[in-house]
Structure 1
Amino acid sequence: MATTAIKRKLWIGSAKAAILPMATLTLVGLMIVPVPSFVLDVGFILNIMISLAVLMVALNVEKPLDFSAFPTVLLFTTLLRLGLNVASTRVVLVNGHTGAAAAGHVIEAFGHFLIGGDYAVGLFVFGILMVINLVVITKGAGRVSEVSARFTLDALPGKQMAIDADLNAGLVTPEEAKARRQEIATEADFYGSMDGASKFVKGDAVAGVLILAINILGGLVLGVVSHKMAVGEAASTYIQLAIGDALVAQVPALLLSIAAAAIVTRVSSPLDLSDQITSQFGSARAWTPVAGILAFLGLLPGMPHLIILPAAALAGGTAWKLRKAKAAAAIGEVPAAATASPTAIGWEEVSDGAALSLELGYGLVGLVDERKGAPLMTRITGIRRQLSRELGFVVPLVRVRDNLVLGPNSYRISVAGVVVGEDECWPEDLLALDSGDLTARVEGRMCKDPSFGLDAVWITPERRGEAVVAGYTVVDAATVIATHLNQLIAHAASDLFGMDEMQKLLDALKESAPQLVAGLTPQPLSLAQLAAVSRALLAEGVPLKDFRRIAEAIVDSAREGADPIPLVEAVRIRIGALIVQTIVPVRMPLPVITLDAELESLLAQAIRVGPNAQHPFEPALAQRIVGAVADASAPMVNAASRFAIVTSPIARRALARLLKPHLPETPVMSFLEIPDGKAVEVVAIVGGKPGEAPAAARPRLEMVQ
């Protein structure tokens, strides 16, 4: 049964796929192969039916994109009508002398019923229909399509920027942003196609006039010359057939022109066209003047009172019902409003699901204003993209909002609800950073750079050239905030990583290494344990971008136990090459600061005494270690050079926790994490005796007895 159902679905799919090619070949066949009058009757009725269906769909869509196939449908319906015109022209010219039924009953009915058998009347009716279709509807719809296409394409960049701004502000999810981008791209394609499709309707109307002229002239010539008919008889017969043929084609053409005009003049609304018009005409204030004016006209002498006064009564009754319905709706809303207690508090008022938040004072709102290009939003998007690549997981959206509690030029950055940074900046000024090699000083508002603590000064844009010449590094306010945000996000990467991000990493890895993921979780480690290990690595500056290698190291290390603390240390040893390459390029030696052997022994002894203590070192000892390491690393820090502090495996974790608040950018590694063959350059030995350190700084730690 299942096999039969699958075969049936495949057959149905193949049949659907073959419908359009077969229909196209049929249209071409109508233009080339002679067909009997019965086939013409079927084709004309089918043409009218399709045109009516297209018009009904166009009137009932909520927005133009809901009928995105309309340009293509318009093309094929125009081809169908032209194919029928060619086929009917052949039949009229070949068999027209036999009588009014020569081209089928549909053409005969249009020739007799609609124009009363008088071909002169038919010519005038056809002319009026052509003026309505070609001059009024088609020309207007074509102009609207052209303007809509131009405005849609001009507005495309602004709409894209608005989506990026909403995405960065956390107002939409990435999936919603992707759907909105797809929608505006489809909208641009649709209006561009409609601009060209409107030419089909115009060309079809012109073709209808030419076909009518050919049928009349050809019929008169053939009737008089070939069939020896009198001129009056030939004119009566062939013109009536030509008019019937033209009308039976122009009625569907008029319906499609109305559909095209309705589509391009629609404004997006949750209502269809009927409901939209009804809702906008449902105002008592609009119908009351109408009733009054009609009543006044109906009382004037000589006016048709029996027609105007009932119309006035109808307009007045409509206004009264609309006013009554509005009053009832207003009364019905009062209890609903009363049920909302002023003391009620909703969850949305006390919870904020944004992991990253940037609050701006009202003076900084211009940095995210779309009308001014939203420079801050553009930089935030670039920051999130770059950090996501470096860290190995997607950095959450940054919710940007104003906060009237802050000062006008203040901003505040929060991570997971905790304020991690705040400062001030002036959106109209520039920040000149002291590079340390200045030739002159520039006057301005003195401050400290919020990201790196450098001496800086806020200057006016007119002093930019002067500051650059003096040796300052000049940046704008958006760059200041974005750089500060970038630094804080990088430091708080572990706070942004949770089990959801862990699951997404596993899902991505499963596509290329399914067996590795199967051997990783749920045994020997649960999702929570994996997330804890990954957070610990991120907290120490180890990115997850090469997660496959990290996962392999976790699998190997988990055989010795699933406790996160020793597991992290074991994983670090196995991915030491990854850690080193985040510090220096592969061909450069690794600059390191090491500890004296006696100091190493003292640290190891303190850790053995309190293996589970958060801070196993004595306060005085810890303070001296921090001071000595800071002195030893000062030349490297001032030169903005990357280096590592290397210690024994047993002391690495405790020493890293001790030094992180003071040297957050400096990794602390164990000897075992440095790969074999990696060149190492010892720049200082903390606690060593003179002569043991290289020619670089030799700070000493005087505390060991």
Structure 2
Amino acid sequence: MAPRDLTVLLGVVTIVIMLIIPLPTGIIDFLIIINISLALLIILVAMNTKEALQFSIFPTLLLLVTLFRLGLNVSTTRAILGNHGDAGNVIETFGSFVVGGNALVGFVIFIILVVIQFIVITKGAERVSEVGARFTLDAMPGKQMSIDADLNAGMISDIEAKERRKKIEQEADFYGSMDGASKFVKGDAIAGIVIVIINIIFGLVIGMIQEGMPLAAAADKYTLLTVGDGLVSQIPALLVSTATGIIVTRAASEGNLGHDVTKQLFAYPKMMYVAGITIFLLGVATPIAWPIPTLVALMLGAGGFFMSKEEAAQKIEEEGDDDPGDQEEDMTSPESVVSLLQVDPIEFEFGYGLIPLADTNQGGDLLDRVVMIRRQLAIEMGMIVPVIRIRDNIQLQPNEYSIKIKGNEVARGELLLDHYMAMSPGVDDEAVTGIDTVEPAFGLPAIWISEDTKEQAELSGYTVVDPPSVVSTHLTEVIKNHSDELLGRGETKQLVDHLSESYSTLVEDVTPSPLSIGEIQKVLSRLLKEKVSIRNLPIIFETLADYGQMTKDTDMLTEYVRQSLSRQISKQFVQDKEALHVVTVSGAVEKMISDAVQQTEHGSYLALDPQSSQQLIEQMMAEIERMQEMGYMPVILCSPAVRMYVRHLIERYMPQVPVLSYNELEPSVEVQSVGVVKGI
């Protein structure tokens, strides 16, 4: 255990000892000085904190200090009443020297200190703590939403958002604790008054009855010692109470209390001249002796003069900072160049006409929709969507928006904020007219209609969508289509770490041996590229643990994983026990593809001649087109041995068409072939 921890534990043990065992006067003197020093240290630290959370231990410390002071009161009372008035040098000094040996004067000073502490400082700090706790708790939802908005806008990172949320929780806990801890200060002030009254009464009784002293002598002796004890106790208590008030009234700033006071109080030098002239006139026009007001007026005038010079020098320095040469130097500095290399994973840019989409003050809910998109994709695809940076771009048309993936534009669209997008059910209604357009997510023909036409379009069977829904759907589809690019090693490491919390043994069987994070990332990316969710990581890792020892070929490992996810894949393409309509690949074509596979030390690839490849692709495209005309979702079905090669063959021409193998379908799935690719 560290020495600091032992010191705190020793202090708590000392408090217990003070409550039980009579202490020698020398130790009492030592503890009294420690009490004063500790109170002074606390108020100095409170004055130098920039925000309340920098002294987050203060509520607990306040309780310990109060308990220490009350334990010290017990020891001093025991010494005053039970040791013939010998309570140590410190109490005697405060009773005789500080108050001039006059017990009545000392008692008045004690009462004033208690009133100041109890009524002014403690009452105020208690009220501020209560209001601060209430306001902090009320403001938590708004602060959380603000953090989410900044995170989705790309203004802060996930780590910064986590730190801000933690800070909000700590603030709520701190002000809640301060609300309760301030009650200790209030109780301490009341206890101080009671202890002094008890000491005076029983001091008189002990002095007169047990020691046979006259009333005047007993009153002089015990009242003086009691007042000294009260002052010794109340001065540190007043310091700690003041520190409590400083902490709970302290707003976050860039400097400590001294810096803020001098900076803000003397921010207007001319006002110091006005104050100086006023004080000077007060000394001249009234019976007040003129030297003192004149001296204060000169001090204020001199302060205003020096403050004015400092302000002028600061302005010159700031103007010098704006020198073009300095700006050019900043632009050519290495730090500036490095900062320009940052490329955001996902960017959403829009023209100035679409600013209301993202402006919450104008009713825009794009930031909230982005939050929902990230959650939706986490549930559907099992992926961690990076922060989406949202910003305006004056180079775009007013109603245009652009979606970029890793700095490159992958999609663009146009919105009319005062219109609705309507998509025809197949039979157009002549009464529904608007501006022709194309639905950006799926490329379907659509029209922009006005608010007046919306009801008629809905009655006619049109699918009517508002602009925010159009852009959020488009953004969701773009992220899905490029999900394999967005899953990097960092995101894969996050997924692995999350899985390790519940399946640590499973993760240890897969990585770092036999598979590295990079190899796992390639498998997961291949699954995402074909729209297979990676949310079921335990099954994926079970398969990698089984087959990772046999091969490092990530294409083969992906095929094994797909077969393990057969129930998930079957459910993805077959709904409500309907038959799965597919285009199959003939045995001759599968043999031709299998014979064309070349094995290398780096994996296998399809080496089919260009003419045969072109003919196969044309046949597949023809069969897929015929299948779509029949109203079926296009799916190609083949044997497991050639599935990934068929996928590679059509990937460039038909990226959205899924290619499945027989092993990826559950036995209960009914398959109906509506076409066959027969080859040459």
TM-score in terms of structure 2 length: 0.84
Among the aligned pairs, what percent are the same residue?
35
Does the Cα contact within 8 Å between 2:515 and 2:548 map onto a contact in 1?
no
**Letter of the 2:405 counterpart:** V
Separation of aligned partners in 1, 2:4 and 2:40: 22
Aligned twin of 1:60: 48
SS across alignment from 1:400: strand
Cα distance in 1 for partners of 2:317, 2:354 equals 43
Shift of 1:67: 0.3
User: What's the secondary structure of 1:669's corresponding residue?
Assistant: strand
Task: Establish whether residue 647 from structure 1 lines up as the match of residue 599 from structure 2.
Answer: no
Shift of 1:592: 4.3
CA spacing shift, 1:375–1:227, aligned 2, 3 Å = same
Tell me, yes or no, if the aligned pair for 1:115 and 1:121 is still in contact at 8 Å.
Answer: yes
Counting only pairs closer than 5 Å after superposition, residues 300-699 of structure 1 correspond to structure 2 as 300=285, 302-336=287-321, 337-340=323-326, 347=337, 351-369=341-359, 375-425=365-415, 448-453=438-443, 476-502=466-492, 511-512=504-505, 513-521=507-515, 531-532=521-522, 534-545=524-535, 546=537, 547-549=540-542, 551-552=544-545, 555=548, 558=551, 568=555, 571-573=558-560, 575-578=562-565, 581-584=568-571, 588=577, 591-595=580-584, 597=586, 600=589, 604=593, 611-612=606-607, 622-623=617-618, 625-635=620-630, 637=632, 644-647=635-638, 652-653=643-644, 655-656=646-647, 664-671=655-662, 673-674=663-664, 677=667, 679-686=669-676
Distance 1:328 1:604, change over 3 A: same
Deviation, 1:191, is 0.9
SS at match of 1:582: helix
**Structure 1 residues 217 and 434, CA, compared in 2 at 3 Å: closer, same or farther?**
farther
Kindly provide the amino acid, as one letter, of the partner of residue 644 in structure 1: V
Q: How does 1:75-90 map to 2 (within 5 A)?
A: 75-90=63-78
The 1:499/1:443 distance shift into structure 2, 3 A limit, reads: same
Shift of 1:314: 2.6
Is the aligned partner of 1:104 residue 2:88?
Answer: yes
Partner amino acid for 1:180? R
Q: Deviations over 1:36-80 (max 9, x none)?
A: 434432332221121111111111112110000001111111111
Question: What are the Cα deviations for residues 13-41 of structure 1, in whole angstroms up to 9, with x where unaligned?
Answer: 4x765655554454344334444434432
Deviation of 1:198 after TM superposition, in Å, equals 1.4
Aligned letter for 1:339?
G
Evaluate the alpha carbon distance shift between residue 685 and residue 60 of structure 1 in structure 2; reply closer, same or farther with a 3 A threshold: same
Q: Is 1:363–1:408's contact at 8 Å kept on the other side of the alignment?
A: yes
What SS does structure 1 have at the residue aligned with 2:411? Answer: strand
- Equivalent residue runs for 1:248-287 within 5 Å: 248-283=232-267, 284-287=269-272
Offset at residue 354 of structure 1 (A)? 0.5
CA distance in 2, matches of 1:605, 1:16: 73
**C-alpha separation between the residues in 1 aligned to 2:174 and 2:282?**
47
Distance in 1 between the 2:631 and 2:34 partners? 84
1:541, CA displacement in angstroms? 2.6
SS at match of 1:575: helix
Cα 1:464–1:214 change in 2 (3 A) is farther
Aligned to 1:189: 173
Shift of 1:183: 0.8
The structure-2 alpha-carbon separation of the partners of 1:635 and 1:317, relative to structure 1 and needing over 3 Å to count, comes to farther
Secondary structure of the 1:212 match is helix
Query: Within 2, Cα distance between the matches of 1:476 and 1:102?
Result: 86
Q: What is the root-mean-square deviation of aligned Cα atoms in Å?
A: 4.0
Paired amino acid for 2:541: R
Distance 1:124 1:443 in 2: 90
**Relative to 1, partners in 2 of residues 1:626 and 1:209: Cα closer, same or farther, differing over 3 Å?**
same
Contact 1:592 1:646 in 2 (8 A): no
Structure 1 segments unaligned to the other structure (5+ residues) = 1-11, 689-703
Letter in 2 for 1:354: D
Letter in 1 for 2:166: Q
Deviation at 1:635, TM superposition (A): 4.7
Contact 1:162 1:370 in 2 (8 A): no
CA-CA distance at 1:252 after TM superposition: 0.7
Does the Cα contact within 8 Å between 1:145 and 1:198 map onto a contact in 2? yes
Deviations 1:406-452 (A, max 9, x none): 34443221112222223234557665666679999877777554334
**Residues of 2 paired with 1:436 and 1:29: CA distance?**
90
Task: Give the aligned length.
Answer: 659
Structure 1, 116-125 or 334-343: larger mean CA deviation: 334-343
1:155 to 129, 133, 139: 139
Which ranges in structure 2 are unaligned for 5 or more consecutive residues? Answer: 599-604
The worse-fitting range, judged by mean Cα deviation, of 575-584 and 643-652 is: 643-652
Q: Output the CA distance in 2 between the equivalents of 1:149 and 1:370.
A: 27
Secondary structure at the counterpart of residue 86 of structure 1 = helix
Secondary structure of 2:571's aligned partner: coil
Provide closer, same or farther for how the CA distance between residues 237 and 195 of structure 1 changes in structure 2, counting only shifts above 3 A: same
**TM-score, length of structure 1 as denominator length:** 0.81
